Structure 1
Amino acid sequence: MFFRLTRRFWLRLVVAAIFLLPLIWLLTAALHPVGRPLPTSLTFSLDLTLQNFRRVWELVPFGRFTLNSLLVVLLAVPLTLITSSWAGFGMAQLPKPSQRRWIVLSLAVLMVPGVALWVTRFLLYTRLGWYDSILALIAPAFMGSSPFFVLMFYRAFRRIPTAIYEAARLEGSGVLASWWQIGLPSARPTAVGVAILSFVLYWGDFVSPLLYLRSESRYTLPIALQLLQQLTLSDWPLLMAGAVLATAVPVGLFLLLQPYFARLGH
């Protein structure tokens, strides 16, 4: 028994090291001295400096870009959860032939490449007056952000027995009450998964700010990294420092949610 636990512990440690290795290399590269080329192999040196992080804040308005990214995810993630769960809940209430048709339609929309929507979205946002505003960045959230999120919620709501919904209707519960009191509590793990995926989607979105924003004051963190690369093409420690700052929020959020993930696992 002890040998089995030890073997499992070492296996988990190896898997964790594999996933943490890129982050460790990213951090050590960000702490590399200025003007010295990055090593071509995995080496560790005590000659580290925080000067690259100071230079990031001096060269670009990194704080402003960070606040813009936080504002985008704080608006887009709740909207995505609401609209995608509504769509998934509505699909789960339909007759089975209608459910199959909507599943096929969702999969077909999911196969459409994002580049095919750039021009259409640009024209639509311009006509609506959303160009060069935060609405252009969070507009997909009003439609669930992705058909994949809708299908995730549909699968979660479909597992709930129909008799429970019918009993709620007999008690006088409406559609929204059934969604809030029956559907969402049962789909809590799915909601957490959709929230994390949508957070990563909007936090790392580079194309939308580049296409639909004109004012530098509204740029987000991916644009900041691009600006750093354009300013100093060969200064990789500076770019790695910006990447560390941009990655700190998602990594910190993941660590904060670890106790919740552990409870879901049990």
Structure 2
Amino acid sequence: MSAPAISRTPPAQHEAPPARVPRKRSASAAATSLFLWGYAAIAVLPLLVMVVNSLRTTREMAADPLGLPADPNFASYSKAWVQASFGTFFTNSLLVTVSSVVLSTTVSLLAAYALARSRSRITSVIEAVFLSGLMLPVYLAILPVFYLLDGMGLVDSKIGLILVYAALSVPFSVFVLTSFFRQLPEELEEAARIDGAGSIRMFWNIMLPLVRPAIATVIVFRFVPIWNDFFYPLVLLRSRENYTLPVGLTTFFGEYQTDWPTLFAGLVIATLPLVILFLVATRQIVAGLTAGMSK
């Protein structure tokens, strides 16, 4: 008799049922998402009203303040840019803000890298000096700053305003960038030195790309307050052709207080760079703020 055939088919394996998300957790996530979307809608609504009203006429706004434009008209933008000197204010703000941020970020990168890699005892003293700039209200220094710039002949000068903003931005930038440089392993620099890379090449080609999220965070967090600052331009600038947007808006509102479409067009022009900046740098900002939270 032949032996019975032995089945070589492996026993069926029972697949584990998919894990179910607890109802409490899913409900909490849905409530959180709903709250965030509602908050976003509330935050965006004034911007939409501002843009829509800039495309309407004064008569339409008087009849229906929250209505839609019957015939969208971009003439208010041309009027705000040319007749109201908004183009000059915008150019001055862009020049002052970009120059200040670039200058302060460049200086802060070099200082932060040196502080993060130095082993000297004086490093802690220098770092404490930088941190002290975050503890003192910047507006308390307006008199010394004014007399200093007056002695240098830089009052009513965009160069003087750029230097002031750059100096005020350095403490915060150094504080943020130093913490990022300290998180980078020193083995990267040792490997670069073995390959024959010099200090400048190592800093430019290796260190800077690794701290890109921190650089984006510093740029955004310094660009916004400088762009919106009203105090220092009001004190340090005297001629209309040197006014930045916040100071220019005061004269703008006085001259065009009854021309609502032009006022809204000016506000849209003043807000647009900030919106573009956040849209472009959002991913880098999130990466910079969350760096170091997980290993």
TM-score normalised by length of structure 1: 0.79
Cα pair distance change 1:114/1:260, threshold 3 Å: closer
* Residue 279 of structure 2 is aligned to residue 244 of structure 1: no
Cα pair distance change 1:259/1:189, threshold 3 Å: closer
CA distance in 1, matches of 2:140, 2:83: 35
* Residue 44 of structure 2 is aligned to residue 44 of structure 1: no
After superposition, where does 1:28-177 map in structure 2 within 5 Å?
28-31=52-55, 33-34=57-58, 44-47=66-69, 50=73, 52-57=76-81, 59-95=83-119, 98-140=122-164, 142-143=166-167, 145-169=169-193, 173-177=197-201
* Partner deviation per Cα, 1:55-112 (whole Å, 9 max, x = no partner): 4346521112212222223322221221111111121122385454444333322121
CA distance in 2, matches of 1:52, 1:140: 34
Cα pair distance change 1:167/1:261, threshold 3 Å: same
Cα pair distance change 1:46/1:84, threshold 3 Å: same
* Partner deviation per Cα, 1:204-260 (whole Å, 9 max, x = no partner): 222232222223222221122111123355766644332111111221233344576
Cα pair distance change 1:252/1:163, threshold 3 Å: closer
* Residue 287 of structure 2 is aligned to residue 255 of structure 1: no
Q: Which aligned segments of 4 or more residues in structure 1 are displaced greater than 6 angstroms?
A: 259-265
Aligned to 1:21: 45
CA distance in 2, matches of 1:211, 1:110: 22
* Residue 206 of structure 2 is aligned to residue 178 of structure 1: no
CA distance in 1, matches of 2:277, 2:99: 16
- Kindly, what percent of the aligned residue pairs are identical? 31
Kept after mapping to 2: 8 A contact 1:228/1:238 = no
CA distance in 1, matches of 2:109, 2:286: 24
Question: Which is higher, the Rg of structure 1 or of structure 2?
Answer: 2
Letter in 2 for 1:218: N
Letter in 2 for 1:79: L
TM-score normalised by length of structure 2: 0.72
* RMSD of aligned Cα (Å): 3.6
Q: What is the SS of the residue equivalent to 1:131?
A: coil
Kept after mapping to 2: 8 A contact 1:84/1:143 = no
Q: Which runs of 5+ in 1 are unaligned?
A: none
CA distance in 1, matches of 2:258, 2:212: 46
Q: Which runs of 5+ in 2 are unaligned?
A: 1-19, 291-295
Kept after mapping to 1: 8 A contact 2:216/2:281 = no
Q: Tell me which of 196, 201, 208 is aligned to 2:225.
A: 201
Aligned to 2:9: none
CA distance in 1, matches of 2:63, 2:278: 29
Q: What is the SS of the residue equivalent to 2:58?
A: coil
Q: What is the SS of the residue equivalent to 1:46?
A: coil
Q: Decide which moves more: 170-179 or 183-192.
A: 170-179
Cα pair distance change 1:15/1:9, threshold 3 Å: same
Letter in 2 for 1:139: L
Cα pair distance change 1:25/1:71, threshold 3 Å: same
CA distance in 1, matches of 2:123, 2:42: 41
Number of corresponding residues: 263
Cα pair distance change 1:91/1:212, threshold 3 Å: same
**Higher relative contact order (Cα pairs below 8 Å, separated by 6+ residues):** 1
CA distance in 2, matches of 1:198, 1:79: 11
